[in-house]
A = this chain, B = another copy of it.
């Protein structure tokens, strides 16, 4: 995006709406939107439960949806806004897509790509395409809170099941 008319927070809020939908559908509450020239061309949230498919992460569905909208393989003018730090699979997919920018909300210390990326610490081995910028921490607390509540609920249900 040469001129970004809306703030990162605006687009992250749109991704958060997707994540909230996922929350109420009992999916892991992660949402993503893909933006080109200030227009959202794809929206998605995690669908691993409904589709019984571990690959149905918000980013994967958003990439496929954006490519379909454009009729093109590469997203080199696009920015993806995603509520949680992408995992290895998703960052691998974003690499292939040659996306211009990745903006994410909260970190994922367990399965986020940074854990691996920092060990690599070499440009030649980076998980991120050399044409891709990365920004993080946008609406971090809101993005993290949704995940925290989701897993808290899940744990509660699990404990109740065990004790009943």
Contacts and interface: CB of A to CB of B under 8 A. Distances in A.
A interface: dominant SS = helix
A160 B144 CA distance: 53
Contacts of A116: 116, 120, 125, 127
B115 A119 contact: no
A26 interface: no
Contacts of A51: 67
Q: Which bucket holds chain A's interface residue count?
A: 35 or more
A97 interface: yes
A149 interface: no
Contact of A89 (B70, B73, B95): B95
B52 A73 contact: yes
A90 B88 contact: no
Interface of A: 48-49, 51-55, 60, 63-64, 67-68, 70-74, 87-93, 95-98, 115-116, 119-120, 122, 125, 127
A73 B92 contact: no
Which 7 pairs, one residue from A and one from B, show the smallest C-beta to C-beta distance?
A89-B92, A88-B92, A54-B96, A53-B67, A89-B93, A55-B93, A54-B97
Contacts of A87: 92, 96
Given A52-B68, A54-B74, 12 more contacts: A52-B67, A52-B70, A53-B67, A54-B73, A55-B97, A88-B89, A88-B91, A88-B127, A89-B89, A91-B92, A92-B92, A115-B125
